[in-house]
Amino acid sequence: MIMGLLAGFFGGGTDAVLQRVGEVFFSIPLLLGGVLFLYQFPTNVDAPLIVQVSKVVFFLALLAWPNIARLMRSGVLQVKSADYVQAARALGARPSRIIFSHILPNSLAPVIVVATINLGVFIAIEATLSFLGIGLQPPAISWGIAISDASGLGLIRAAPFMLLFPSLFLSLTVLAFILLGDTVRDAFDPKLR
């Protein structure tokens, strides 16, 4: 959000540099980047849980920020030309006051909606990486590990619930975050009120 806010507000060279950096990260698919990153920096089985989780969170943050930055930039560019922002500039308000009092609150709603929807995507990607064996390791608890264990044991016919329940709950959680994002969008959209 900070990158998009700075790029949209200051424009010019700052905008060009931040957008080009964002495009470099935006060109790497999230799942493929996660596979490459976590394969290059494997987690030891003895590593503490905080190290495993931090690695997954770091790679997700590293590759997923350009989407939010672009959305924030477009919101800032839309709000920046509004009359109340121009009035604040005419009255001599500092740029920090304009950003935090006028631009940020009025351009934050779409970012909250997309971030809520992206939570479901991040959960699915973490489960996929754990299923492949390069995400969280077995002392940790993950739906991807549970699905991998159930499908690898060969108990699908004898105990199908071991595969069914983790898969079902993963799907329901991802769907719940997508629906939550849709509900948040409806709540923040002034056209629907």
Radius of gyration of the CA atoms of the chain, in A: 21
Mean pLDDT of 164-179: 89
Answer yes or no: are the C-beta atoms of 126 and 136 closer than 8 Å: yes
pLDDT in tens, 37-67: 888 888 777 778 888 888 888 888 888 888 8
* pLDDT at 169 (0 to 100): 92
CA 122 from centroid of its chain's CA atoms: 6
* pLDDT at 191 (0 to 100): 57
Map out the domains of the chain as residue ranges.
1-28+38-107, 109-193
Supply the pTM of this predicted model.
Answer: 0.81
